[in-house]
Structures are given as structure tokens and as C-alpha cells.
Amino acid sequence: MAAIVAAVAAMLVTYIVVVTTRADAAETLLSQGRPTTASSTENAGTPASSATDGNTGTRWSSAFSVPQWIQVDLGTSQAITRVALNWEGAYATAFQIQTSTNGTTWTNIYSTTTGTGGQQSLPVTGTGRYVRVNATAKATQWGVSLWEFQVFGGTPDTPGGCGTTNTALGKTATASSTENAGTPASSAFDGNTGTRWSSLATDPQWLQVDLGTAVSVCGVTLNWEAAYATAFQIQVSTNGTTWTNIYSTTTGTGGVQSPAVTTTTGRYVRMNGTARATQWGYSLWEFQVFTGSGPSTSPSTSVSPSTPTLPTSDTPDFGPNVRIFDPSTPVATIQSAVDQAFNAQLRSPTAQFGTQRNVFLFKPGTYGRVWANVGFYTTIAGLGLNPDDVTINGAVNVDSGWNFGDEANATQNFWRSMENLSIVPEGGTNRWAVSQAAPMRRVHIRGDLTLAPSNQDTGQGYSSGGYLADSVVDGVVSSGSQQQWYTRDSRITRWDGGVWNMVYSGVQGAPANAFPNPPHTTLATTPVTREKPYLYVDSAGLYRVFVPSVRRNSAGATWPNTAGTSIPMREFYVAKPGDSAARINSALAQGLNLFFTPGTYSLDQTIRVTRPNTVVTGIGFPTLIPNNGVEALNVADVDGIKISGLTFDAGTTNSPTLMSVGQAGVHTDHAANPISLQDVFFRVGSSVQGKATTTLAVHSDDTIIDHIWAWRADHGGAPTGWTVNTGDTGLIVNGDDVLATGLFVEHYQKYEVIWNGNRGRTIFFQNEKPYDVPNQAAWIGPRGNGYAAYKVADTVTDHELWGGGSYCYFNVNPSVRVDRAFEVPNRAGVRLHSVLTVSLGDVGTIANVVNDTGGAVPNPAGNTTPRQVVNYP
């Protein structure tokens, strides 16, 4: 149904809220199709009438200034009870809803200075023939823009009428067929009009929902995709076998329909399509069912588990995997808690891919001697507004003693983090011997910091890759055996050591640029940054999330005076393991941000983030696993969405993508307020035998990718292998002006990074080629043997990379070779700096570093000696 999907692509830009009336409802939509005018229009394609046409794929947008207004003439004076606004990304932060009897004198019936955009349903009381939205402040550099402006009158439903709650939301759904795994029956009952059910292209086809118990069915709303039914029946059943028609038509028009049904008791409700309007099947964005006896929910009653209530507390329950300490907590209690979490993993062959999740949060204050060993899926974090608000005396320590039989090997010290605190290290030095997916952010080390395992002085220690940002180290950073490391926007006294690829941007005190000897690549500033959102408690003891602002050409830590916005926790839905994707999407549809607590989340549908400036964050490595080949997370092409602190495990059914940002082919300028991804990690095969063609696709312009690890597993709790955990590509970038700071992508079976957008920049890239290539014949790319790790498309005219390393270890078949690690077009605007290749243990061959330049590894010098290219061309 590609043609149909393309025709409605505009509808997918934002979450669509369609408010309709039903046969028994007294509230009436007054504004649709009425004469509408505005203070200005951006262009002929965005007239005022588009906001009142009932089509959420069209919009009104104004000139790029304020104030601006849009008004509708209802024809006669009416009692106004509600106004619904569906904002495009260019929304108003301050506006009034106003009424008038003559179109000249206006009365405010609603006013705000803290507008959040998205979808708003505003109860109001007023009378007038004319109703307008008067915008006095805007959120973006653009004007203001509305997909829909709806005015309602009359009286709300009363007991005895048809209720206003969608009884079918999140209930069990089945269908006669589905077009593909991406359009399941459940998508028509998830409350998300960006997902849909579609059938095979034959007649008849049906879609039904099980309400769980017999109820009085008095209304339905069908929101058709372009592939609609011209003939269909609405049917109910008490047993799912014998059906009664409550509505029938042979002249269906598609769009949004609320047919007048005959009120009948039933547990099952279905749409039975018998004739199609197109050559395609039947397709519904949403199928809503309403029941009798008045509204089924009220502020004082509970709601269905699929429909979360708005949080009312700024002191939420973060679940059993989170422990919170304050300075009055006995040190022995703290030590016992952190020891218990770590010791359960000690020398455990399953801990690396286990389900355990541990978060230890420290409220502001000073803590006595605590030695916190940090294991897998463990986070240690402070709850102050600034790192120095929380001081731990002792250590937040990562070493490699857990790895029985290989205590010197820290190359598997993944999935742990330390954030937003200060440490006075015992003995003067704190140890953080980690590899991938182990960020240290917003930390003050009041002493020295070492990044290698404790016996590295014997020559037996190994550690391979890490990330440090927005931090201060008062003493010396010793990298020791660290093979590669990226440090961003921090302050240090001195850096000692470096093996292959040490990269710094915006780091005060960083070593001079000297690659390859020593292997330091240093940029004075970072082009664009936005630090990761973080949890803290305010002076009243209430929980909030601080969202730092965008910085440009930045250097040094942001704190203690970090610019940004503080969001109370009542504006977040706090997700917990066991929450369904429908429940999470319903929370997002209510305008909430999303906060994932630690644990594993099984998703039978895509989580869709559509509202500008939405914050989606997690603590303790919450892990999202898609089922049946769905995409786990989809981010709309709108301003300012922030995604951080999430881990994705591919499911056993192949997903075309695990996460996508924006819409393919759409290039909207987000430079003023970019989408950002931080500490987002992807795994294809590990705890499960996962499969995903691409793990991350970035379509939106100006996106910031700040520390990701995309990993096709070379080992795991579940078996791995060339035909077992399959994955083509870790990252595809189609957006222009995308910046990656700290990009780790490993072991994929084709091009591991494909960069199609123009003016892309990467600061630090770390890669290992797939270990498990069975033979050369199985691995032939478009330009010879194997696939490059980092591919810049031939159409790209401007691209730049600083500090990139690609390594091979073809241990299944050491005769395998890849012709080049970096493949780029030969033009002046495409520039690479400080790039290298290594054959680990001299096992397998990389013939060149960039294109046909740089020479081969294994290097004749032997002993895993790298090849380097300082600048290309």
C-alpha cells in the first residue's frame, strides 16, 4: 500500500487528535467548515480555512511574528463549552481563547503563558458568534501553526447517555488478515493515529475487539486511512461467534465516521468490510467503541490499565530497582546495598546479559566512606542540581575482577554509568576501567582518575573505549591500557597515556593535537551540544528533570550555572516494566513526557513520540524489546525532542529498524532546536537471538547524536553467529547537518555506518568489523571484498570526521579481508582526520585505511601495530 501511505504522509508528522460527535452525545462540533480568517498566512498553501476543515493533514500557519490570530465565524451566537487545538511544531507559548458577538469586541475565556504545544482540549465557558485564538508569544523562530482549531458547544454527555471514554482502547484485537507485521489489528486500538491496521486486498475482511465483558454498545468512531470501505457493517456479539448488525451501509465515504448505531449489548464489536474503495485492502488508523450509562470514568474513579491517569505527585515511585539514599542513611546500609548488587554478579557467566537492574540515587549532602563497585546495568547518580551538591568519600569503582579467569580484561565492562556527583577518592585516585556503553557524565573527581584495570602495570590489562562529558577532574587522568576514548566539554589538569585513538573536543586542559604520535586528536570546541537531561530534587524535596539548553562552539563543563529548563515530575509518565506500548503511547498522547524506570519492556507496537520538545529519558538501562518485527521507537520530525538513557534489544523476529528519527525525504530546519539522542544503546543478539536490518535511522536535519553504541553481538547469553543474530547496518544518516559526538558501531554484516546527508560531522568513531564472517564468498560488497565500516555516500559534497578507528578480528576465518575501512567520495569537501586501522592479534586483513590509501593491516611491524592516515585527502 505504498502509494496510499505516501498520499497520507503528512498525517504522520504529528499525532492526530480527531474529536467527533456520536448519535447520543449532546456536545456539538460547531466550527468545522465555517468561514475562518486570520491575521496573516505564511503562504497560499496554509490558509486559515485549513484549520477548520476537519483534515489533520492540512494546516494554517502565520507570518513569522507575533501577535497573530485565527478566528472562526459560527454564523450565530452559540454557547461555547470546549476548544480543541492541534498545534503543529510552531506553537504558541502564550495565547488567549476569545469570543465576540460582533467580531470587534473580544472577551477572554481562556489564557495561558505556558503553552506546551501538541494537542490541547480546553474546557471553557462563554458565548459568541466569533471565536478566536490570539497568540502573543511563540515557541520557535517561525510563526504559529495549527493543524486543527475546533470549537464545541452544547452540554457534555450526562448519565444515561453514551459515554465519552473509548472502551476499546488497548483491548485485545483480532482481524481476518493483516497486510504485514507492521500493520497489526492492535494498532487500531492503541490510541495512536500514527499507527494503523490494514488487511489483505480481498473481500470480505473484518476487524474486531474484545471488550472483556458484555456492555451496552452505543457508539463507534472509525478513522479510516485512505484505503476505506464503501460497504461495511458494525456488528456486536456476546460470544464472538453469533453477530448482530447495529449499523450497515453501502455508501461509505471514508475519513472519520461516527455512524448512528443501534444500542445493543455485546462483548465483541467488529467492523465487517464487504466492499473496498481502492485496489488495496481495508485500513483503519483507529476504531473506537463507546458504551452506555454515561461517562465511564471521572476524576474520582480508576481507569483502564491502558489509559494512564495524569500524575499528581512530584515524588513518584521509581520501582523496586531504584534505591534512594540521603545523608542520614547509615553508611553501613548504603555499603550493604551496593555490595549486594555487585556481589550477585561476581564471576557470574549470565550477569552480562541478565535482567538485573540497579540504580542508586544519592540526595544532596556528604556521604562517609562508601566503596561502590559498579557492575552490569548499574547506575550511581546524585540528585543535586549540581555535581558538587552530592559528595561521596571513597570510590565509585569499575575494575575487571568479576571476569573469572581473565581478571585483567575490562573489554567487556559494558552497561554501567556514573552521573551528577562528586567523589573524594580514597587513596587519591578513582578507577573507571570500562569499555562501551559506560558513560561518565557531569562528575567532579576531586583527585586523579584512571581508566584501566588495576593490574595494567603488569602489561596484562585491557580496556577498550569509553566516554566522559561535562565533567571536571582536579588531578591527572591516566588512560593506561585504554585503546580509545572520547572526552567532551570538560576540564582536566592533565592527561597521561594513549594507545590508538584518544579524542577530545571542548576539553580545557586536553593534550595538544599530535596524532598519531602520541595518538591525541584535539578540537578546541564542540560545534553543537545539548547535555543529557537528569533527575534531581529541589529544595522542597520534589523530583524534577533538568533539561540543559543547546550550546554552540562549547568548551568546559556547563555547571554550576547550567542553562536550561526544569520540568516537574508531574509532567512525566513514569513507565515501569509491564507497561504496554499502548499505555505508554496513551500517556504521550496526553501531552506527558516519558520517564523509564529500570527493567525490560516488551513492545507489541511502536512507541511514537510526536510532540515537539518531548523528553523521553530513562535510568538504569531500561531495555526495550520489540515483538513481531515492529519498530521499537519512532520520533517525529519536529523540534526539540530529547531521547536519552535507553537500551534496545532486537527481538527474535527481524525489525527493519529498531529506532528512527524523522521522516525519510523530509528536510525541515531544526538548527535552532535540534532533536538529540544521548546514551542510547542498541544490541542485535545478546540476551535474545535478535535480528534487525538497521538499528538506527536518522532522517531529521540537525540531529545531535551524542554517545551511542550500536552492537551486533559477538557473544551473548543467547548463541550468536553469522546466520543467527543478523544485522546489516548500525546507523544510517539521511538528515543534513547531523552531528555525532561519540559514535561506537560494531560487528554489523554490511556497511556499519552509511552517511547520506550533507554537511555531516563525526567527532570520534570506534568500530570493530564482524568477527564471524565464514568465508570471503559470503562477504562481497559493492566495491570488492567486504564492506567499509564508515561509508559516506557518493552524492555527499560536504562531510568531516575527526578521530576514527576500525579494527578487524576475523577469528572464524582469518583469511577474510576487507578492502578498506573508510569509503568516501574523492572531493575536497569530504575530509577525514586522524583515522586508523588495526588487525587485533594480527587476525584478518584490512587492505587500506581510506579508499585505496593507508596500507594494510596486519602491519609488517607485527604485534597489532596500526596503520594511520592523518588527513584525507
CA-to-CA dists, residue 41 to 65, 137, 147, 732, angstroms: 11, 17, 13, 36
DSSP state for residue 463 in the 8-state scheme: B
Burial 90-121 (b: 16+ CB within 10 A, else e): bbbbbbbbbbbeeeeebeebbeeeebbbbbbe
DSSP 8-state class, residue 851: T
743: which strand partners?
708, 765
Q: How far apart are CA 757 and CA 754, in angstroms?
A: 9
Burial class (CB in 10 A: 0-12, 13-18, 19+), 267: middle
CA atoms within 13 A on the CB side of 507: 27
Report CA 835 to chain centroid distance, whole Å: 30
Torsion 683-685-688-691 (CA) sign: positive
Residue 353's alpha-carbon distances to 374, 540, 681, in angstroms, are 15, 39, 14
Backbone angles phi, psi at 570, to 5 degrees: -65, -15
DSSP per position, 292-341: SSS-S--TTS---TTSPPPP--SS----TTEEEE-TTS-HHHHHHHHHHH
**The C-alpha cell that represents 113 in the structure block:** 503563558
Please compute, for residue 742, the number of CA atoms within 13 A of its CA located in the half-sphere on the CB side.
33
The rounded distance, in Å, linking the Cα atoms of 490 and 443 is 10
How far is CA 696 from each of CA 2, 342, 353, 749, rounded to the nearest angstrom?
A: 22, 32, 21, 15
CA–CA separation, 623 vs 321, rounded Å? 13
Note if 531 is an active site residue: no
Q: 148, 225, 286, 768: which is the annotated catalytic residue? A: 768
In degrees, rounded to 5, the angle at the alpha carbon of residue 590 between the alpha carbons of residues 586 and 591 is 125
Of 861, 862, 857, give the one whose Cα is nearest residue 835.
857
Catalytic residues: 768
